[in-house]
Copies of this chain bind each other. A is one copy, B any other.
Amino acid sequence: MTSDVEISGVGMTAFQRDAERSILTLMETAVDRALNDAGVSVGDVTSVHVGNMAAEAFDRRSGLATGLAARYGMRPACVDRIENTSASGASAILRGYEALESGRSDVALIVGVEKMSGVDTDRATDVIGRIVHEREFAHGVTLPSFAGLAADAYLRRHDADRRALSEVAVKNHANGANNEFAQFQREIDAEEVEASPLVADPLRLFDCCPMSDGAAAVVLTSEGVGDIVVRAVSSAVGTHAVAERDDVLRVECAGTAGQIAFDRADAKRTDVDVACVHDAFTILEILELEELGFYEPGTAWNAAMTGETGLEGDLPVNPGGGLKARGHPLGATGVAQIVELTWQLRGEAEGRQVSHARVGLGINIAGFGNNAVCTILSS
């Protein structure tokens, strides 16, 4: 590595169900905001990397990155799309980061996007369902059912209360209520979570992230240009088939990617002031906090209950509402995490600002924990 990579601009669309706007329009809105925020003009962009999971299947559209460059008349040297299922956004950040590290690009525009509305629901469910290992898919196991099994195992093994899961959703909704870009901007209480329809016992509807449309963008530049330093971006694959894991409560790829990131950033767990984790299901927030070493195994369930992961707690988690309340447009999520962390580290997260936020961590997960990308930023 020759020099630091920095963030000089971020922007995103509101995350919502929005069948009207095209995927290109979603990208354009996020890009306009990020370029404006960075004070970078279209002609300065030297590479474009789009993180997107399934536009071909959802929208019959490939070549998103070229389509975006064409809209702006951009002529950057390198334009591509990166896919790593639900971690496509963070993989695109990593791809742009390496473009800068390699010396090939000096202003990399990263855009995460997904348009899930207006899609044939059976087809969307089928494509999302096939994120899991093909042998497990053949048995009918889905992401929610894996999450339900893990939640059940966790609560039993650690003698934890189902209320612990509810409080993760309650916290993230409370945060989302203060985020104008969040899909759900209203507070809920634990009773509402527990009265919502059962999805995969013990998980209920309000334990699960929604289907969303949206885009988020980040401008990465060389040292001395931006205001937020990307101290590390690292990725790791884990065991794809859940049945092959030694422990059903481990999300090893998150732990591995996290450890590499901490090593590269030369940072300690206690340095982290704010984290955005991949709470596609409430149980995942708990498992990831343990896997990343913020909590000992079997102890993170209590964190949302006691307020430790709330905005005023020791380790505020998902201040933007997380996947649960901000929404989860698949390929956009990993980029939106970096947008939120940037706002937090700049002190711009009005209404949900974490105090004294200097170091932020994001973790974006693919499949049911088969691949993870971890990013550490500092102001």
Contact = CB atoms under 8 A, between A and B. Distances in A.
Interface of A: 1, 24, 53-58, 60-63, 65-67, 69-70, 74-85, 91, 94-95, 98-99, 101-104, 123, 126-127, 130-131, 133-134, 234-237, 239-241, 260, 366-367, 370-371
A55 B108 CA distance: 27
A250 to B, nearest CB: 14
Contacts of A69: 237, 240
B371 A66 contact: yes
Contact of A82 (B82, B102, B134): B82
A82 B56 CA distance: 13
A308 to B, nearest CB: 31
Contacts of A57: 56-57, 60, 62
A133 B62 CA distance: 11
Which interface residue of A67, A69, A74 has the most chain B CB atoms within 10 A? A67
Contact of A81 (B70, B82, B103, B237): B82
A123 B53 CA distance: 18
B127 A66 contact: no
Contacts of A58: 56
Given A62-B53, A62-B130, A101-B103, A237 B76 contact: yes
A84 B66 contact: yes
Contacts of A54: 56, 62
Nearest to A85: B63
Contacts of A95: 80, 95
Given A57-B57, A66-B237, A240-B67, A80 B80 contact: no
B103 A70 contact: no
Contacts of A77: 234-236, 260
Contacts of A126: 60
Contacts of A367: 63, 66
Given A56-B127, A101-B102, 11 more contacts: A1-B103, A54-B62, A57-B57, A57-B62, A61-B127, A66-B240, A66-B370, A66-B371, A67-B240, A70-B133, A80-B235
16 contacts: A1-B102, A54-B62, A56-B127, A62-B85, A63-B83, A63-B370, A65-B84, A70-B237, A75-B237, A79-B84, A80-B83, A82-B83, A95-B95, A98-B102, A101-B101, A101-B102
A303 B87 CA distance: 48
B79 A82 contact: no
B98 A60 contact: no
A235 B79 contact: yes
A2 to B, nearest CB: 9
B131 A75 contact: no
